Amino acid sequence: MIVGAAAKSFSESGYHAVRLEDIADTVGISTPALYRHFPNKYALFAETARHLADALAAAVEPIPVGGPDELRELLAALTVAAIENRRTGGIYRWESQFMQPDDAEYVRDIVVAQHRRIRTALTIRRPDLDRGTADVITAAMTSVVASPATHRASLSRKQIETTITDAALALESVDLPDDLADSATPRIGLPPAARREVLLGEAIRLFAASGFHDVTIDDIARAADLPASGVYRHFASKTDILEAAFWRASDRVTSAVSDALAASTTPREAIMALVAGYVELCHGNPELIAVYMAEIGNVGKRQRTALRNQQRLNVEEWSAWVARHRAEVSPVRARFLVHAALNVVGDLTRIDRRPNTETVAALGSRLLLVG
């Protein structure tokens, strides 16, 4: 019971925002009673991560290796695991940086084994794929099947399983560019002159690198070459800076939607433009997007609600155009496809050896147009 309640809290709010007292209250025990099972918060977090990793391993273990439909069975099993862990699946995506070496290795070994098995099943069906392309498609498939754990859209369990499994499998036949590497040189540009923008930019960089709780006002001030008092002329608190970063990311996503629709004349064009715009946004602002995806638990409750409402409106806009393009897809199913596409873009643009924008856009578009 403690592990289950903790997993939900860590996934929804982030490591630092969770208090053991709150978990104890949720379970209905005293905090000293909780400490009889786990000596500290990290021990409880590590156990939740290992527990979820074990669930993933158990999901695929019964599937025969080399079976005629192994790829579909693997994707379906992992989709079911994501559905069963919808309120806990955000742990790895947001909190892996907090894991100590032994725990990180335990989880990583399971994730790597899962990746290799899906990749092997994929290359049996598509022997023409080189290793790099197979790795990218496998990563995208994994991101798709994990996507139900990143949102709270409602659909029957069987419909989620079918929709997500079919979408992931649709990536099997995606056509990708011959060169997947992201060879674009980052544009440095000129720094902003306004002190508030300098502070916000440095704070985003620090939050992305070290996490919100490990960054101090003094760190931000030093990075911006200002005294700490200079920060408070523009922001009331560190949380105020984080909320400004969230609204910056949200506004850019909303603006990208408007720009994509303004440049389109058909639902298909709208979908392709929406995906391309989001890919460019993520590629061009990786630190901002990393903060947006990782630190929601540290935003004030009122602001968190407003941000999620805006995100919901953006997803609804994407979903409407998917449903218009594909008459067989209901608006509710379209939401799951949109979240899957957004998850793929976000995941693939944050990995160390990220593919280029054309590759990521091709994968995202395939999910919405065909998956």
pLDDT tens digits along 120-167: 999 999 999 999 999 999 999 999 999 998 888 899 999 999 999 999
364: pLDDT strictly greater than 90: yes
Q: Are residues 229 and 340 in the same domain?
A: yes
Mean pLDDT of the residues in the chain = 91
Is the four-CA dihedral 144, 147, 148, 152 of positive or negative sign? negative
Task: State which residues form the domain around 52.
Answer: 2-173
**What pLDDT, on the 0 to 100 scale, is given for residue 248?**
93
**What pLDDT, on the 0 to 100 scale, is given for residue 73?**
97
pLDDT band with cut points at 50, 70 and 90 for residue 184: low
**What pLDDT, on the 0 to 100 scale, is given for residue 263?**
95
> How many other CB atoms sit within 10 Å of the CB of residue 4?
15
Q: Are residues 156 and 208 in the same domain?
A: no
Indicate whether this model's pTM tops 0.85. yes
Q: Are residues 201 and 165 in the same domain?
A: no
The residue-averaged pLDDT of 179-197 equals 75
80: pLDDT strictly greater than 60: yes
Q: Are residues 267 and 207 in the same domain?
A: yes
- Round to whole Å and give the CA distance between 266 and 264: 6
Beta bridge mates, 355: 181
188: pLDDT strictly greater than 70: no
Q: Are residues 271 and 160 in the same domain?
A: no
Inside any domain, residue 190: no
- Placement of tokens 């379209």 in the chain: 334
Domain count, the chain: 2
| Residues 310, 133 contacting (CB under 8 angstroms) | no
